[in-house]
């Protein structure tokens, strides 16, 4: 379940809204069990899109602290990838 202020990744292209798969946004409103309004913001802070998506069109990103609490899989994999080789 997605909640307000969750960070999400778009899993589909939405050319009608100028959005591409892989863009990140923030859930700003939950309209129902499968309707989530997501805001997409540029680096300068301006909103460039705000659209409603179904839950299966979005992937929730976990904050680093929560990843660490789950066992740190991504952090451990990253460290192993960047380890110096003999």
CATH number of 7-81: 2.30.30
- pTM of the full predicted structure? 0.76
Beta-bridge mates of residue 14 = 19
List, in order, residues 6 or more apart from 1 with CB less than 8 Å away.
55
Strand, helix or coil at 24?
Answer: strand
Task: Work out the angle at residue 22's Cα, subtended by the Cα atoms of residues 70 and 1, and round it to the nearest 5 degrees.
Answer: 50
For the chain, the distance separating the N- and C-terminal CA atoms, rounded to the nearest angstrom, is 45
SS3 content of the chain, % helix, strand, coil (to 5): 25, 35, 40
* Domain residue extents for the chain: 7-81
In tens, the pLDDT along 11-51 reads 999 999 999 999 999 999 999 999 999 999 999 999 999 99
């Amino acid at each position: 379940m997605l909640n307000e202020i969750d960070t999400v990744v778009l899993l589909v292209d939405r050319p009608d809204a100028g959005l591409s798969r892989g863009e990140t946004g923030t859930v700003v409103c939950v309209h129902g069990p499968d309707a989530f309004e997501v805001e997409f913001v540029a680096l300068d802070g301006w909103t460039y899109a705000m659209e409603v998506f179904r839950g299966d069109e979005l992937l929730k990103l976990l904050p680093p602290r929560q990843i660490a609490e789950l066992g740190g899989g991504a952090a451990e994999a990253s460290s192993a990838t960047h380890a110096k080789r003999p």
